[in-house]
Amino acid sequence: MLIHNRTTTALVWLSCIALYSCKATPITNNQSEPIFQTLDPAAAHEGRFVNDGFYRLGFLYDSAETIQLEVSTSKDGKIWTNFQAIKTIHNEQTNGMTAATGVSATTQKKSFYYRLRSVSGLMPNHLNIEPLGKQKPAENVAPEFKVQSTERRKVGYPEHLEVTDRHAWDAAPAPRCQSKHTPRLMTIHHTVTPNRDSINAAARARQIQSYHQLIRGWCDMGYHFLIGQDGEIIEGRRVEKVGAHVGGKNTSNIGIAFLGDFRYEAPSAKSLAKAAALVDFLSEYFSIELTSNNLLGHRDYTNRTLCPGNELYAKIDELRSPSPTGRIVGIVYSKSPENRIPNLEIRLSNGVSTTTNRSGYYSFENLHPGPYRIIARFNQSILENSRYLEADETIWASFKF
């Protein structure tokens, strides 16, 4: 549930939502998955019970103010430890907000209750807590995220997808990610972050990666792709590497996570169109048949999560269908429209080409939404026309030589 008060909006975050209980499974390998417990910051001082107990608590939060969170734990809900400050792992300011991750100290014995407070009394605008096992995160890169990964992308994505690659969003290196796979299915998730997010997509990706690498101890972000509400596709873990997004079912499985909370609100049309285009490309590239067995929602694997939310889950059938396409058409002529130029090659920036007919007309059919450069060469002259194609749209791009 979403809980609103004057200073906070509490959300359960990332790929899993445990509404009936919250189990703190020890983190033993890269196949685990996050399970979050809803916490109402307005009542954070009240003890929260975790069925299977925990040794650490992972935090992911956004705040418009500088805050210091403290946590107290208990085995029985009666005798409590002193409040201790959580250790901040990642802290980045963007658009007047701070995107942060943190972790509590490891307890010597398993605890079953926790409570939270802020030194200043101000709580985060967006708060997520995950009970964790005793194991400490593996050694990884420092959390300042200044070093660029030199790993080369193995899959070349077509221009119309406009994929924001790891270099562009300053991804931390992932040298420990060595396990490769051949994708045979895809899984849809939602991150349960704000739908009208004041944190930009790149900063959100860094925050997610920080939590997965430096608190979860994974080798990289668990997802292969993030989809923004504006349709931006962000490259997460390399698609040819085994991910960490469905416990025990990660091999041969591509994880695609929509940025947002889609339990009660549908994803944007732009995000669905871009996701459909991405799914189409991955399906063709890896020869994945788009059936109910090969394109699933996270909840299809387990009853421990409602991911990707009811509203997004209802859209998965649409992603299994061919994505909406558009057309680019035009005429090519010399000096005046009456002087058409036949049999002239017209190329798109993605390498696809066609020729004008005897009336000087050309067309490109069934194009995915996205940016295109249309290129025409006549004698020694080269003309270009850059256009953005929407789904179900026909764009005219004519050339005059």
Q: Quickly count: other Cβ atoms within 10 Å of residue 176's Cβ.
A: 16
Say what the pLDDT of residue 37 is.
42
Q: Is residue 153 domain-resident?
A: no
Query: Hey, what amino acid is at 241?
Result: K
Do 301 and 339 belong together in one domain?
no
> Structural domain tally of the chain?
3
Q: What is the CATH number of the domain that holds 227?
A: 3.40.80.10
Convert the chain into a string of H (helix), E (strand) and C (coil).
Answer: CCEECCCCEECCCCCCECCCCCCCCCCCCCCCCCCEECCCHHHCCCCEEEEEEECEEEEEEEECCCCCEEEEEECCCCCECCCEECEEEEEEEECCEEEEEEECCCCCCCEEEEEEEECCCCCCCEEEEEEECCCCCCCCCCCCCCCCCCCCCCCCCCHHHCEECCCCCCCCCCCCCCCECCCCEEEEEECCCCCCCCCCHHHHHHHHHHHHHHHCCCCCCCCCEEECCCCCEEECCCCCECCCCCCCCCCCEEEEEECCCCCCCCCCHHHHHHHHHHHHHHHHHHCCCCCCCCEEEHHHCCCCCCCCCHHHHCCHHHHHCCCCCEEEEEEEECCCCCCECCCCEEEECCCCEEECCCCCEEEEEEECCEEEEEEEEECCEEEEEEEEECCCCEEECCEEC
Q: Is residue 138 domain-resident?
A: no
Pairing between strand 233-235 and 326-333? unpaired
Do 184 and 302 belong together in one domain?
yes
Domain end among 97, 132, 167: 132
Say what the pLDDT of residue 361 is.
96
User: What is the Cα–Cα distance from 172 to 9, expressed in whole angstroms?
Assistant: 29
Give the C-alpha distances (Å, rounded to integers) separating 108 from 57, 105, 133, 134: 13, 10, 11, 9
Do 207 and 296 belong together in one domain?
yes
Do 226 and 242 belong together in one domain?
yes
Q: Is residue 378 domain-resident?
A: yes
Q: Is residue 139 domain-resident?
A: no
Say what the pLDDT of residue 370 is.
84
Do 363 and 292 belong together in one domain?
no
Do 278 and 180 belong together in one domain?
yes
Domain limits for position 376: 326-400
Do 114 and 174 belong together in one domain?
no
Query: pLDDT digit of tens for each residue in the chain (401 aa)?
Result: 222 232 333 333 333 322 222 333 332 223 334 444 434 445 555 678 888 899 999 998 898 888 899 999 999 989 999 999 999 999 998 888 889 899 998 888 899 999 988 888 888 888 888 889 876 544 333 343 444 445 556 788 988 888 999 999 999 999 989 999 999 999 999 998 888 888 899 999 999 999 999 999 999 999 999 999 999 999 999 999 999 999 899 999 999 999 998 999 999 988 998 999 999 999 999 999 999 999 999 999 998 889 999 999 999 999 998 777 899 999 999 999 999 999 999 999 888 899 999 999 999 998 888 889 999 999 989 999 999 988 889 999 999 99
Contact in structure between 111 and 75 (CB atoms under 8 Å) = yes
Do 49 and 121 belong together in one domain?
yes
Q: Is residue 151 domain-resident?
A: no
Do 195 and 309 belong together in one domain?
yes
Q: Is residue 147 domain-resident?
A: no
Do 124 and 37 belong together in one domain?
yes
Q: Which residues of 257-294 are buried (b: 16+ CB within 10 A; e: fewer)?
A: bbbbbbbeebbbebbbbbbbbbbbbbbeebebebeeeb
Contact in structure between 260 and 227 (CB atoms under 8 Å) = no
Q: Is residue 365 domain-resident?
A: yes
Q: What is the CATH number of the domain that holds 389?
A: 2.60.40.10
Instruction: Name the pTM for this structure.
Output: 0.75
Q: Is residue 137 domain-resident?
A: no
Domain end among 291, 320, 349: 320
Do 189 and 272 belong together in one domain?
yes
Q: Residues, the chain, total?
A: 401
The Cα angle at residue 142 between residues 141 and 143, in degrees rounded to 5: 115
Say what the pLDDT of residue 327 is.
93
Say what the pLDDT of residue 368 is.
83
Do 210 and 294 belong together in one domain?
yes
